[in-house]
Chain A
Amino acid sequence: MTSVRPDPAQVQALAARLRETGRGGAEAASGAPLSLLHVPTGGCGGCRLELALLFEPPWDSGRHGLRLVTDPRHADVLVATGPLARNAAGALLRAWEAMPEPRFLLALGDCASDPAPDGGAPYALAPGGVRGLLPVDLALRGSPPPPGSILLGLLTLRDAIRGRAGPAISR
């Protein structure tokens, strides 16, 4: 149950993506907290249970400049969990469109990360999953990933946005 860092290839690709799309650097480097909006897209709820732990002790991710919000208009990062139910696609898209630029998308867990997610019937799941609908900036594998891995992923994203590398955390 050790915490796993996102693999280096993915982190490099993330940095390149942020440069290309002009979404890193100045504004984000101000030190303002990174606000996360969780949008469950049709999973078992396991990722939500682990994500929720991060915002209470002993993780207390507020001290790392991370916080949860419930309104897309105040969010930097959309955290999608689940294989993307067709019934959830509209809500996901509306939440994404309501977020101010620059905005970032984290696919949390195997279901949201996989371009061909399993775990449901074809009539109910959108083909291509979350990736089929929106551009994913960082994907964290695991079913669900343990809190430490989620935190490492979020800090990787935070630092990439701020134009720095390599998070160091302690619990």
Chain B
Amino acid sequence: MSGAVPPRGLFPHDPADGIRNLRREGIRHVLDGAAWAQLAAELGGRLGQMRLLALWAEASGQVHALFHPDRTRPLIASVPTEAGRYLALSGPAPIAAPYERMVRDLHGFEAMHARDLRPMLDHGAWPATAPMAERPGPPPRGPEPPEWLPVEDETLSLVETGPVGALEGLLRTRLAMRGREIAAAEWAHGFGHRGLLAALQGRDTEDAAALAERLAAGATVAHAVAFARAVEQATATEIPPEAARIRAIAGEAERVAAFLATIGDVARAAGAERLAARAGALLSPWRDAMGAAFGHRLARLVVRPGGVARALGAEGAAALADAADSLRRSLAGFARLQATSLAPVLEGLAVVDGERAVRFGASGIVGRAAGQGFDARRLHPQAGVPVEASVAEEGCAATRLRLRLRGIEEAAVRLVALLAVAPDGPARVELGRARGEGIGCAEAPEGEAWHFVRLDAEGRVASAFLRDPSLPHALLAADVLRSTPLAQGGPPAAALRLSFGIAIEGLDL
């Protein structure tokens, strides 16, 4: 993943008339305002396949955009802000919009010609505006309710809920209803904002990793791996194969747990109580086995920069193998129950088509249910055990559930294969150096986790960014709920939203 410099210009697939970078800084290409403007202009056309994944800023005055154009090597383009401003990318690439809102809330940098200028994380409750800016702004006027997008049609009835009471976390929802049809859906989040990006600064890599993995509990391992990989790139560290094996084992165990939890959540919200009960009955012993294997039921503090905290003991490995065995024997019945109870009511609803999936940068289950087969596990060695991840085309809520069911089976099979590889060699190495910049990626249960880190001369975090896969999926969920009919006896809107597997904590940072 370390970025070899493309011969000319920024973009390796188009060296002939690529966009000129001013210079390299760490792993990033710094553009001047004109080159950034050219990039912005071409994202809507020639560079439409760049896959913009995230956008964030630093107090020093740069804005960074992360792309994954050829799905093998990430590219980061940076632009210095001028008088606190930079040109928005959200015009041609709508997925940039929530990130531009975040940059404004945290750093105070304005995206010119942005699609959406409403606050997102700043609810008016912090002691200062732009708290991560070099000089934070004056205190806000006081807590403010979310600004919803205007609804043109006055005949629509507006239904607001939250933020307390949503199954998956603190979330305000607003549905504009035309009779029984959803005419528009919108979510407002940020209630759980902990200031993780600021809190990471100044920590050593060990401490920072322990905080970064707490971005979202359901993807603890994935975020730990993404952060560790960023640190390992920054410090030119190569982890031993045994560490990669244990990380993969923990990752598959987490995938099983996350898919069972999401199926349970959707089932509960849709009133499929028998299925919810079965999901819980499978999940409880699975978490017990994770606890036995990793010393923590969510596998916290297992993945560390440079490898893993400790070797996997024989007893722990046996607990996981037994749990995988008994889970696999229950899966056929679980799948039949799902197919008869929940799938029929979700069929054909909340459809994400391939075009939308690409435009929003969907990944994980949401992406794969809409024909996007990419899986970030293929970017890294996996102890020689291949990655199987089913792909479908229909893109509806039922498809996403089916893929999670298949995903449980696929993860359990991989887990058993990984456990069968004989342990070999050390599970951790010292970091290669103190200072550097890196970007790391891991395939979380619900999609791509990307973490960026810059370490100073003492090996402390100077700057970091954490991307949970949920943000594009939250936008997609709102987008596709438009013109969804809520039939009498059908699933409520919450069940359809939950089928996207969104982690609110991951959005809130």
Interface residues of A (CB under 8 A from B): 1, 37, 39-46, 48-50, 52-53, 55-59, 70-72, 82-83, 85-91, 94-95, 119-125, 143-144, 146-147
Could you tell me if B298 and A49 are in contact, using CB atoms closer than 8 angstroms?
A: yes
Known A-B contacts A40-B170, A124-B131; the reply to A119 vs B214 at CB < 8 A is yes
Known A-B contacts A52-B261, A56-B264, A124-B131; the reply to A46 vs B125 at CB < 8 A is no
Closest to A145 in B: B297
Could you tell me if B192 and A43 are in contact, using CB atoms closer than 8 angstroms?
A: yes
Closest to A71 in B: B165
Which 10 interchain pairs have the tightest Cβ spacing? A56-B280, A121-B195, A124-B195, A120-B194, A46-B217, A121-B198, A70-B165, A123-B131, A42-B192, A1-B291
Closest to B257 in A: A49
- CB contact between A45 and one of B123, B196, B216, B264 (< 8 Å): that residue: B216
Known A-B contacts A45-B217, A121-B198; the reply to A57 vs B280 at CB < 8 A is yes
Size category of the B interface is 35 or more
Interface residues of B (CB under 8 A from A): 121, 123, 125-128, 131, 136, 143, 163-165, 167, 169-170, 190-199, 211, 214-218, 220, 261, 264-265, 276-277, 279-281, 283-284, 287-288, 291-292, 297-298, 300, 503-505, 508
Known A-B contacts A45-B217, A56-B276; the reply to A124 vs B297 at CB < 8 A is no
Known A-B contacts A45-B218, A90-B143; the reply to A85 vs B194 at CB < 8 A is yes
Contacts A/B (CB < 8 Å), 19 sampled: A42-B191, A43-B192, A45-B216, A45-B217, A45-B218, A46-B298, A48-B169, A52-B264, A56-B276, A59-B280, A82-B192, A87-B121, A87-B193, A88-B192, A90-B125, A90-B143, A91-B170, A120-B195, A147-B284
- CB contact between B281 and one of A1, A57, A71, A144 (< 8 Å): that residue: A57
Q: Distance in Å from the Cβ of A44 to the closest Cβ of chain B? A: 4
Could you tell me if A124 and B194 are in contact, using CB atoms closer than 8 angstroms?
A: yes
Q: Distance in Å from the Cβ of B452 to the closest Cβ of chain A? A: 18
Q: Distance in Å from the Cβ of B491 to the closest Cβ of chain A? A: 16
Closest to B143 in A: A90
> Considering the chains assembled together, what is the distance between the CA atoms of A118 and B48 in angstroms?
42
Q: Which residues of B contact A49 (CB under 8 A)?
A: 217-218, 261, 298
Known A-B contacts A1-B292, A46-B217, A86-B126; the reply to A72 vs B164 at CB < 8 A is yes
Q: Distance in Å from the Cβ of A6 to the closest Cβ of chain B? A: 19
Q: Which residues of A contact B211 (CB under 8 A)?
A: 119
Q: Distance in Å from the Cβ of B455 to the closest Cβ of chain A? A: 19
> Considering the chains assembled together, what is the distance between the CA atoms of A113 and B163 in angstroms?
22
> Considering the chains assembled together, what is the distance between the CA atoms of A45 and B247 in angstroms?
21
Could you tell me if A120 and B143 are in contact, using CB atoms closer than 8 angstroms?
A: no
Q: Distance in Å from the Cβ of B326 to the closest Cβ of chain A? A: 13
> Considering the chains assembled together, what is the distance between the CA atoms of A160 and B193 in angstroms?
34
Could you tell me if B195 and A45 are in contact, using CB atoms closer than 8 angstroms?
A: no
Could you tell me if A56 and B164 are in contact, using CB atoms closer than 8 angstroms?
A: no
Q: Which residues of B contact A43 (CB under 8 A)?
A: 192, 194, 214, 217, 505
Could you tell me if B199 and A119 are in contact, using CB atoms closer than 8 angstroms?
A: yes
- CB contact between A44 and one of B143, B214, B292 (< 8 Å): that residue: B214
> Considering the chains assembled together, what is the distance between the CA atoms of A29 and B195 in angstroms?
43
Could you tell me if A120 and B199 are in contact, using CB atoms closer than 8 angstroms?
A: yes
Q: Which residues of A contact B216 (CB under 8 A)?
A: 44-45
Q: Which residues of B contact A50 (CB under 8 A)?
A: 287, 297
Could you tell me if B164 and A39 are in contact, using CB atoms closer than 8 angstroms?
A: yes
Could you tell me if B192 and A41 are in contact, using CB atoms closer than 8 angstroms?
A: yes
Q: Which residues of B contact A90 (CB under 8 A)?
A: 125, 143
Q: Which residues of B contact A52 (CB under 8 A)?
A: 261, 264-265, 280
> Considering the chains assembled together, what is the distance between the CA atoms of A123 and B284 in angstroms?
37
Q: Distance in Å from the Cβ of A169 to the closest Cβ of chain B? A: 14
- CB contact between B287 and one of A45, A53, A85 (< 8 Å): that residue: A53
> Considering the chains assembled together, what is the distance between the CA atoms of A37 and B508 in angstroms?
21
Q: Which residues of A contact B127 (CB under 8 A)?
A: 123
Known: A1-B292, A90-B125. 8 other contacts (CB 8 A): A45-B218, A52-B264, A58-B284, A87-B193, A95-B164, A123-B127, A124-B193, A125-B194
Could you tell me if B125 and A45 are in contact, using CB atoms closer than 8 angstroms?
A: no
Q: Which residues of B contact A53 (CB under 8 A)?
A: 280, 283-284, 287
Which of B169, B277, B503 has the most chain A CB within a 10 Å cutoff? B169
Q: Which residues of A contact B169 (CB under 8 A)?
A: 40, 45, 48
Q: Which residues of A contact B217 (CB under 8 A)?
A: 43-46, 48-49, 144
Closest to A38 in B: B164
> Considering the chains assembled together, what is the distance between the CA atoms of A29 and B52 in angstroms?
58
Q: Which residues of A contact B265 (CB under 8 A)?
A: 52
> Considering the chains assembled together, what is the distance between the CA atoms of A121 and B196 in angstroms?
6
Q: Which residues of B contact A85 (CB under 8 A)?
A: 191-194, 508
> Considering the chains assembled together, what is the distance between the CA atoms of A120 and B203 in angstroms?
12
Q: Which residues of A contact B292 (CB under 8 A)?
A: 1
> Considering the chains assembled together, what is the distance between the CA atoms of A163 and B292 in angstroms?
37
Which of A41, A89, A91, A94 has the most chain B CB within a 10 Å cutoff? A91
Closest to B214 in A: A44
> Considering the chains assembled together, what is the distance between the CA atoms of A46 and B297 in angstroms?
10
- CB contact between A58 and one of B123, B279, B281, B504 (< 8 Å): that residue: B281
